[in-house]
Structure 1
C-alpha cells in the first residue's frame, strides 16, 4: 500500500510540473476564456429609464394587438350615438337608467370624454 501511495505522489508532482498554472474556478473567468473576452472595468450600458408595459396578456389576447387608450377613445367617438329613452338626447354616455335628468336613475352616468 505504501508503494501505491508513493507512486500517486510521484504522478501528482509530474502533473503539477506539466500544468504549472491551475485553471480558475470562478464562473466569470471560465466564460471569459470560452468567449475570449474579458470583463470591462467600467459599465458602458445602462438600464432603460422608462418601460412602457401595457399590462398582462391573456391567452385569448395573445394573437390580438392591444389598443392604446387613445385608440379606445377614438373607437367610442366613432360609435353610432343612440337616443336616451328618458331625455331623448343622442349620446353614448348615458341611457334611460343612467340619465342625469332621471330622478329614479339606478346608476350614475359615465364621465364624459372631451
Structure 2
C-alpha cells in the first residue's frame, strides 16, 4: 500500500469502515440468517425473499473479503459449500440485535407507548 493510502485510512472514521462492511441490500439479512449456524447457498435463497443467486454470491464474496464469514467446501458428490460467521461476524450479531431493538422504537404503532428516552 502506498503512503497516500495509509494517510487516507488514518483519516477515516471507524464507523465508515463498519458501514462499508455491511452495506449492501442483502448483507444484514445474510448475517442474521447465519447467527444460528452455518448455511448453504440454497438456504439463503429460500430464506431471503427476492435475492438473486448472482447478487447473493457477490455479497458473500465481499463479506469473506471483509472477514465477516468463512466458506467451507466439502469434497463430496454432489459438491457442498457452507458459509459461517467468523468471530468478527459473530460480534456483529450483537450490534444487529441492538439495532433491531432500537428499530422497534421507530415503528409508528410503537411510538405512542414506548418512551424514547
Q: TM-score scaled by structure 2? A: 0.27
Between Structure 1 and Structure 2, the one with more helix by share is 2
Q: TM-score scaled by structure 1? A: 0.27
Mark the structure with the bigger radius of gyration: 1
